[in-house]
Chain A
Amino acid sequence: MEQWIAMLLLVSAIWLLQIRKISDSVPILAFQSFILALTAGAMWYQTKLSHLLIAALLTLIVKAIIIPAILHYTIKKIDVHRRVERVTSKYTSLLISIILSVAGFYVTSRLHLPSTKFGAPYLPVSITLVFLGTFIMIDHKKALMQGIGLITIENGLFLVAQSISYGMPMMVELGIFFDMLVTVVIIGILSLRIHSTFESLNIVNMRSLKG
């Protein structure tokens, strides 16, 4: 069961590299966060550790509902139908993301990371999510998509902490959720400003600062 959930997370991250319109990224991201909430929920069900339930609910509310809502609002203000632009072609990016996934699983198996009983199945995927999130940031040329990559990295880190030790201490976890929320708001504000100044979200336009 856990393997299947983990695979869904992997698919969601690779999917983010295959989309055509920027607006497609929002439901995929919401889906990814929903699955993430599910993993925390499953771990809570198996261990009955109350802070895992809180983490699951917070993930659901903040990451699967509020953050996609903010992104949706931002994209609607810019242009819903705007297409994504990538550095590599669709097939190359698929190839690279598969290579990265294999690398993620390999690295995890070699690291001998200690893990918890119910979190262990998610560990390889969590590391892979960090890799793929980084690749999303590099591959996409639209400013907003870099933000999406950043959220994928954060989702991966959340899962790393979950599978290694059932999450960070509650206070810290809350702080990270808060930071995440503020980050997305600021990504939204800056994207809108970038779009109104450059008439585009393409970061290729932003190359005047050098040296």
Chain B
Amino acid sequence: MIKMEEVSLLLIVPLITAVLCWQIKNHRIGEKLQIIGAVLNVFIGLSIARNVFFDAPVTGWHHFIYIDALSAFNVVLIVIIGFVASLYSVGYMRHEVAERIISEEKVRHYYLWFHLFIGTMLAVSVVNNIGLLWVGIELTTLVSALLVAFYRKGTSLEAAWKYLIMGSVGIAFALLGIIFLYLSGVDLFGESAESLNWTVLNRAAGQLNPQWTLIAFIFVLVGFGTKAGLAPMHFWLPDAHSQAPSPVSAVLSGVLLNTALYGIFRIYTIVNAALDGKAAPYLIFFGLFSIAITVTFMLVQHDVKRMLAYSSVEHMGIITLGVGIGGALGLYGAVLHMFNHSMAKSLLFFAAGNINQKYHSKRMERISGVLKTMPVTGSIFLIAAFAITGTPPLSIFVSEFTIMTAGFQSGHLVAIVLFLLFIVLIFSGMTYYVVRMAFGEAPAKLEKKEIDRWSTAALFIPLLAVVIFGLYVPPFFQEIIKQVAFVLQGGKS
């Protein structure tokens, strides 16, 4: 039973942290406290994950909670990125207060919403009931919309409104899909809460009504796909990700998108089993389309955070493509890519946040010579940018290569050739902008100094993952990813 207590702690700690940070007037204490909360959650999350990976799935509270390898994987990503972002927030917010952009009181509100946001994502990952998963994903939208609107400027309000409305409408369609899914199993299990439990549906996937499961899946794919930023439902994403404070952008791109994909994949697993693999082409199509859309937008960007946001659309596409290709190898690549993208993209947003604060601008033509003004941030930014475009020997290359191999092996020749073409174009576009920012002459009035030691220190944790996983994926981690891939296959090999 110790396991269930850990799960409740996992959900309660962010809640308590949020409320404490909001109530404690002394912000020096508040900001340390929120780090302690985040560290605590890392330990709890890892402990739960260890149980799941090396023992068995955790289930409890009358089957309302169910954590298998896929959930645990998402939990681990959330607690780690959440921790790094809370570390980074300290330096970022101190700088914003020092520049008089925001008041100290608003920083307390920031920590309140930030930790609630982390909590809602964790809740999404541990519930068994698909209806409650929907409720959780809607909550993540609501909480993070306030974080996007944090600066209260015209543009950030515009972004937050667009995000709230598009997210909610999209998710309303997902609810319709979930109602249909409920319908497809209601003859089998009767009208009880159990019949929306993932475990129950997955076990009986073969007997579900195929017509209803397909309609359900299309609605869910479009609905949660809006939230995951799959094209053509991605229009809110670059706005929201570029207008939010940088640590929030990192969490939005790094783990919120994964959490939305998590929702899609949970339902995909059931549906694909019910339909005998006929759901996969939809994923391949949306995946490729998202990558293709990115090419055009990537080449005309002026705003560094918007460029990174579009790159997230691309990578969500790659993950979706990987899962659509499927097979043990394709799923392995997709899951590894989820991890690699989370690390590399959050690292990029952290570094971009430092750069923006230094140059007081997000416009790329006004940024040059970052390597000279901020040697640490600058070089990390450069490494991360090369990683995200898939340059060997960095981590993203490994997972992209795996997905590519899986595609060739399973005969998706056209899809993979297009995929390669697109990522080469994206590589050249992004590298052009990044190199221009990193090198060149620095503006004379900027002195050579990092923003804050907190926001520099935070960069090293994801950096480690980006570099190490490019050279070598540790065997225990390979084992974990295989387990997650196994869940995505419906638990059947």
Seen from chain A, the residues whose Cβ lies within 8 Å of a Cβ on chain B are 114, 130, 134, 137, 143, 146-147, 150, 153-154, 157, 160-161, 164-166, 168-172, 175-176, 178-179, 182-183, 186-187, 189-190, 193-194, 197-198, 203, 205-209, 211
On whether the beta carbons of B179 and A209 are closer than 8 Å, the reply is no
On whether the beta carbons of A150 and B145 are closer than 8 Å, the reply is no
In angstroms, how far is the closest chain B Cβ from the Cβ of A200? 11
A197–B139 CA distance with the chains assembled, in angstroms = 26
Residues of A within 8 A of B132 (CB): 171-172, 175
Task: Mark out the residues of chain B between 137 and 166 whose CB falls within 8 Å of any chain A CB in the assembled complex.
Answer: 138-139, 142, 145-146, 149, 152-155, 157-162, 164-165
Residue-wise, chain B 175-212 has the 8 Å CB interface mask toward A (1 for contact) of: 11001001100100001110110000000000000000
Seen from chain B, the residues whose Cβ lies within 8 Å of a Cβ on chain A are 64, 129, 131-132, 134-135, 138-139, 142, 145-146, 149, 152-155, 157-162, 164-165, 168-169, 172, 175-176, 179, 182-183, 186, 191-193, 195-196, 238-239, 242-243, 297, 300-301, 306
A208–B157 CA distance with the chains assembled, in angstroms = 11
On whether the beta carbons of A169 and B157 are closer than 8 Å, the reply is no
On whether the beta carbons of B131 and A169 are closer than 8 Å, the reply is yes
Residues of A within 8 A of B186 (CB): 165
Residues of A within 8 A of B152 (CB): 193, 197
Name the CB-closest residue of B to A174: B135
Residues of A within 8 A of B129 (CB): 169, 171-172
The majority secondary structure among interface residues of chain B is: helix
Name the CB-closest residue of A to B194: A169
A154–B135 CA distance with the chains assembled, in angstroms = 13
On whether the beta carbons of B179 and A150 are closer than 8 Å, the reply is no
On whether the beta carbons of B157 and A193 are closer than 8 Å, the reply is yes
A150–B171 CA distance with the chains assembled, in angstroms = 11
A157–B182 CA distance with the chains assembled, in angstroms = 14
On whether the beta carbons of A160 and B179 are closer than 8 Å, the reply is yes
Sampled A-B contacts (23; CB under 8 Å): A114-B183, A143-B161, A150-B172, A157-B172, A157-B176, A157-B179, A160-B179, A164-B183, A165-B183, A171-B64, A171-B132, A172-B134, A172-B193, A182-B139, A186-B146, A190-B145, A197-B154, A197-B157, A206-B158, A209-B238, A209-B239, A211-B238, A211-B306
Given A190-B145, A190-B164, A193-B149, A169 and B158 contact (CB-CB distance below 8 Å): no
Name the CB-closest residue of B to A114: B183
Given A169-B193, A172-B132, A187 and B164 contact (CB-CB distance below 8 Å): yes
Given A160-B179, A198-B154, A154 and B159 contact (CB-CB distance below 8 Å): no
Residues of B within 8 A of A208 (CB): 154-155, 158
Name the CB-closest residue of B to A168: B131
A117–B138 CA distance with the chains assembled, in angstroms = 31
